[in-house]
Structure 1
Amino acid sequence: MIRLAVCLWLAMASFALALDPSEMLDDPVLEAQARELDHAMRCVVCQSESVASSNAQWAVDTRRVIREQVAAGQTNDQIMDFFVERYGEFVLMAPRTSGSNWLLWAAGPLMFLLAAGVGIGYVRGRSRAVQPATSTLNAEEAKRLREILKE
């Protein structure tokens, strides 16, 4: 239990170390905008971490560029477009739903609806299936069954 707590503490501490205080902007409003962008961008080196939580040199440079552009008065969309133009939509933690990405966003719900339709069709087909006729034993079979059970 203590080992788990120490591991969790170290993991959370590593996120705090990702942003160097010298990288921060003096204006808290601009810094909040920059941090929002840090969390919206994917580190292309780490690939599973946001720029905010990565210590890779690429992420450090990206945080610096983000802060330069925020200080220059760029909007979030302009800054994100800047990085998408250079690295593709992979750099975004949440890809946009425009262009050909709509198919990726719609694939999950479409597969669910397809599976639900197949399941409903299967259940309805089973309910309409012809039930096997129950057969009763004739007198000779019933007599033979009683003999077998007595043995």
Structure 2
Amino acid sequence: MRRLASLVGALGLMAGAAIAEPPPAPDRPLPDAGQEARARALFTDIRCVVCQHESIADSPAGIAADMRRLVREEIAAGKSDEAVRADLVRRYGDYVLFQPPVRAGTWLLWFGPFALVLGAGAVFFWRSRRRRVEEQPLSEEEERALAELTGEPDDIDR
């Protein structure tokens, strides 16, 4: 039974290794130091579409390596930084940039947190300004009716 469990475990490990993504090819820096510096600066501004919280400079994902290669190819072809960003946005959407542009489609992304905080503050302010209703004591008739309902002796005439 132990041998069977060991065999199944070993097969599981081998299957996991076969399914895993192969490591990306090593990066090849551009021969021109100025172009390589531009590429590295762009790497920090571009989000990995797999990791989502890392830039492509820090991400070990294969797609990040592909994106780094693409950025280097476009810079080597003479494209400007804005043209490289525009091409990545065309391919992957505004989310690929850590600082997406401010336009109608991204207003919620940029201004939504502020609107939420302002709305919550307005609700708290409005609720704190509401007048509390003061409780009025029961009249003698209401005291008698309550005493009859609860079956308690009438203590009003003390």
* TM-score, scaled to structure 2: 0.62
Aligned to 1:129: 132
Aligned to 1:148: none
Segments of 5+ residues of structure 2 without an aligned counterpart are 1-23, 138-154
Q: Does 1:23 align with 2:28?
A: yes
2:32 partner amino acid: D
Structure 1, 101-110 or 22-31: larger mean CA deviation:
22-31
Change (3 A) 1:107 1:19: farther
Aligned to 2:70: 65
Change (3 A) 1:113 1:28: same
Q: Does 1:42 align with 2:37?
A: no
Change (3 A) 1:93 1:19: farther
Aligned to 2:6: none
Equivalent residue for 1:53, pick from 32, 55, 58: 58
Segments of 5+ residues of structure 1 without an aligned counterpart are 1-17, 135-140, 145-151
Aligned to 2:37: 32
Structure of greater Rg: 2
Counting matched residue pairs gives 117
Contact 1:38–1:50, Cα closer than 8 Å, also in 2:
yes
* TM-score, scaled to structure 1: 0.64
Cα distance between partner residues in 2 of 1:40 and 1:19: 22
Contact 1:19–1:52, Cα closer than 8 Å, also in 2:
no
Aligned to 1:149: none
- Give identity over the alignment, percent: 39
Structure 1, 60-69 or 93-102: larger mean CA deviation:
93-102
Q: What is the aligned-residue RMSD (CA, Å)?
A: 2.7
Report how far residue 31 of structure 1 moved.
1.9
By relative contact order (CA 8 Å, sep 6+), the higher-ranking structure is 1
Report how far residue 19 of structure 1 moved.
10
Higher helix residue share: 1
Equivalent residue for 1:102, pick from 107, 130, 136: 107
Cα distance between partner residues in 2 of 1:41 and 1:19: 19
